[in-house]
Amino acid sequence: MSLFTNEIEWTNPPRRFTIPHFTPYKRDEDPDRHLKHYRSTMILYKNNDALICKIFATNLQGEAQDWFHTLPPQSIRSFNELSFVFTKEYSSNRSIKMTSDHLFSIVKDPWETIHDYVKRFKAEKAKIVGCNEDITTVAFRNGLPTEHPLFGKLIMEKN
């Protein structure tokens, strides 16, 4: 017996439908990111909830595919429901969303060159979606030792 309701199970794909190429979900990735990728790939079929449900199973791999088949029969009535149980199951794999405040934890090590500090700081900043530029500037300056020439220059430019 299918884990989908009869309404979903009995829905046929549109004529000439071909399954788009997906990056399969392997269980150790961020489920939110995977759902975002899946939804954007299936955007042309967003009004066909049954199709979206049925195709989702084809882009799971390994243990994620095994988990999918453990769902109770006729327990999935919509893609929103399927998305919920999927993200609930794999919530421990979610990426931790960092804020601009994270940058205050980045401090130039005494042995580190300014070039390496800038490179490391930029790499961390790139991980933050919608990073606040004012906080970035202050965090960068605060990560420098007060005796570093660049620190003094940044203080002077501020005024």
| In a shared domain, residues 121 and 84 | no
- Structural domain boundaries enclosing 123: 100-158
Structural contact between residues 87 and 39, judged by C-beta atoms closer than 8 angstroms: no
| In a shared domain, residues 87 and 16 | yes
Q: Is the residue at 1 inside a domain?
A: no
With bands split at pLDDT 50, 70 and 90, how would you rate the model's confidence at 50? very high
Q: What does the pLDDT look like over 78-105, one tens digit per residue?
A: 999 999 999 988 876 555 677 888 899 9
Q: Is the pLDDT of residue 156 over 80?
A: no
| In a shared domain, residues 123 and 139 | yes
Q: Is the residue at 152 inside a domain?
A: yes
* pTM recorded for the entire structure: 0.59
Q: Is the residue at 78 inside a domain?
A: yes
| In a shared domain, residues 59 and 83 | yes
In DSSP terms, which residues pair with 25 in a beta bridge?
Answer: 60
* Structural domain count, the chain: 2
Residue among 120, 125, 123 at smallest CA distance from 108: 120
